[in-house]
Structure 1
Amino acid sequence: MSARLSVITIVYNNVKDIERTVLSVLNQTYTNVEYILIDGGSSDGTVDLLKRYENRFSVLLSESDKGIYDAMNKGLALATGDYVLFMNSGDEIYANDTVTKVFATAEGADIYYGETEMYSEAWVSLGQRRHQAPQKFSWKSFQYGMSISHQAIYIKRSITSPYNLNYRYSADIDWIINAAKKAKHIVNTHQYVAKYLVGGVSKQKHMDSLKERFKIFNHHYGFLPNLLNHAVIALNLATYFIRHRRTND
């Protein structure tokens, strides 16, 4: 019997992008999918659009919430699948056969992960993320930056926990690390699994997000190692931009 996947999408006032996300889930060739939509009480027509597909959702919940991670916790609490995947408004599962291919790479993993392709607001490809997914992933892999995007990781629901609402911008990093600490079998699918719309709260509040990430990494890795790791991050970032500038010249 195939594993059941709970896909959770949260959305608030994003009528422009939500349908693209919804269709990327509903059009999957993998059939054992539970689709949960959590809307934050949108007033721009998002809910009306979602209601067109309501009979194909497992859950459609529209009510006010206390922010992104509160909404994600609502979705997580409603999920019944063996695995969970967060595919937020504006993002997409990479192709119609992606979920099928992910679960075909290995049987019974605790975590499956892959690469992410970045897209602009005009939905033009910007290529691969600067942080490529590591060949092997563990809870220590985020020491030098978030190397796997939230949309590109399938986690066994039994090893997940609620998002820590003390974090406003980067609770997803803490959530993934906590799950990875419990994981015994982590599989790199060696494929693109998600399309990510550049932007979001963490980009809009970039400095606040970076400060919060530093706090999260302190918690998991220790202050001194984290300080040294950030020196490496800064060096890698400078090297990346120098190379990128030379390529464009």
Structure 2
Amino acid sequence: MFAFELLKMGPKISIVTICYNSQDYIEDAINSIISQDYNNKEFVIVDGCSTDNTLQIIEKYKNQIDIVISEPDKGISDAFNKGINVSTGDIIGLINSDDLLCEGALKKLAQHYRPGVDVFRGNSIFWNDKSGFQGRDIPTMHFPVVPYKLHICHQSTFIRKDAYKKYGNYLLDFKYMMDLELLRRFSRLGANFEYIDADLAVFRLGGVSQESEGKKWEERKKVILLNGGNNFHVLLFKCYLLFRQGLKKLATLFGEDFRLRFITQKV
């Protein structure tokens, strides 16, 4: 009976949005979620005690948001985990406050949903809202010990609630590379990944993930060492990153959008 009802209604999809002082973009994110043409969804917002107008904007939409948590947290990973833990959906997506769900994304996800799959990964659209640039990022489906050429596509990744219970949540000591660590860990432990050939989310450029490489290196190193790698793997990856950073600096001389054209597909 339950399987029949799930097939009829589609899986329950929980969307978690974390925010802190996000008044400039949170309303766009909210509207992209509540406007989805899919009924069996749940919307959770986890706020870190914002001091700007974020909570007032959230209040405007309170009748269309299922759960709102506003309390201090220990960082992004902690906020993600709070949202995951209170979510009741079969599958959970994390849409940050400055990002967007694409139109019809949840319906496309539901059409591909199968209970045996742990992680569903679709395309993300990189969007520079200042220049208007858009590029399609195709997600990486395999996460080796040395994470070369990875496309995380965090916003367009949806994970079964049961998979979080089996393989674990985000690690609190990661401030930048928590999504890479989680996906590498899931892959190492045997989680089943499936690709959805559709644009599911928009990644607005300029957030935390755009901060300097120096702040993220130690966490990348830790990802390798925690998930089956050794110091030789760390050295290989360091050499790769130095080479990549050199190319990035060269390409960026012609503008950030110029560089992005080489790592994304034309929309």
The TM-score normalised by the length of structure 1 is 0.86
More displaced stretch, 119-128 vs 184-193: 119-128
Query: Displacement of 1:59 after TM fit?
Result: 0.2
> Which residue number in structure 2 is paired with residue 190 of structure 1?
197
Q: What CA distance in whole angstroms lies between the structure 2 residues aligned with 1:14 and 1:52?
A: 15
Query: Displacement of 1:190 after TM fit?
Result: 1.5
* 2:180 counterpart of 1:176: no
* 2:55 counterpart of 1:27: no
Judged with a 3 Å threshold, the aligned counterparts in structure 2 of structure 1 residues 200 and 165 are, in CA distance, closer, same or farther, namely: same
Q: What CA distance in whole angstroms lies between the structure 1 residues aligned with 2:76 and 2:213?
A: 16
Contact 2:146 2:237 in 1 (8 A): no
Query: Displacement of 1:145 after TM fit?
Result: 4.3
* 2:127 counterpart of 1:119: yes
Judged with a 3 Å threshold, the aligned counterparts in structure 2 of structure 1 residues 37 and 158 are, in CA distance, closer, same or farther, namely: same
Q: What CA distance in whole angstroms lies between the structure 1 residues aligned with 2:30 and 2:250?
A: 38
Structure 2 residues without counterparts, runs of 5 or longer: 1-5, 259-267
Q: What CA distance in whole angstroms lies between the structure 1 residues aligned with 2:213 and 2:252?
A: 21
Amino acid of the structure 2 residue aligned with 1:149: C
Paired residue secondary structure (1:175)? helix
**Residues 85-100 of structure 1: matches in 2 within 5 Å?**
85-95=93-103, 97-100=104-107
> Which residue number in structure 2 is paired with residue 144 of structure 1?
148
Q: Alignment length, in residue pairs?
A: 243
Paired residue secondary structure (1:151)? helix
Q: What CA distance in whole angstroms lies between the structure 1 residues aligned with 2:60 and 2:224?
A: 42
Query: Displacement of 1:232 after TM fit?
Result: 3.8
1:198-246, Cα deviation, whole Å (9 max, x unpaired)? 1222323541113311221232233212322443454456567778889
Paired residue secondary structure (2:11)? coil
> Which residue number in structure 1 is paired with residue 49 of structure 2?
41
Q: What CA distance in whole angstroms lies between the structure 2 residues aligned with 1:179 and 1:244?
A: 33
The TM-score normalised by the length of structure 2 is 0.80
**Residues 1-249 of structure 1: matches in 2 within 5 Å?**
1=6, 2-95=10-103, 97-108=104-115, 109-122=117-130, 124-129=132-137, 132-134=138-140, 137-140=141-144, 143-160=147-164, 161-220=168-227, 221-235=229-243
RMSD: 2.6
Q: What CA distance in whole angstroms lies between the structure 2 residues aligned with 1:114 and 1:141?
A: 22
Q: What CA distance in whole angstroms lies between the structure 1 residues aligned with 2:109 and 2:206?
A: 26
Q: What CA distance in whole angstroms lies between the structure 2 residues aligned with 1:30 and 1:183?
A: 30
Judged with a 3 Å threshold, the aligned counterparts in structure 2 of structure 1 residues 49 and 141 are, in CA distance, closer, same or farther, namely: farther
Amino acid of the structure 2 residue aligned with 1:159: A
Paired residue secondary structure (2:109)? helix
Contact 2:152 2:179 in 1 (8 A): no
Q: What CA distance in whole angstroms lies between the structure 2 residues aligned with 1:150 and 1:142?
A: 19
Judged with a 3 Å threshold, the aligned counterparts in structure 2 of structure 1 residues 25 and 72 are, in CA distance, closer, same or farther, namely: same
Q: What CA distance in whole angstroms lies between the structure 1 residues aligned with 2:212 and 2:172?
A: 17
Amino acid of the structure 1 residue aligned with 2:79: A
- Identity rate of aligned residues, in percent? 24
1:77-99, Cα deviation, whole Å (9 max, x unpaired)? 1111111111011101122x112
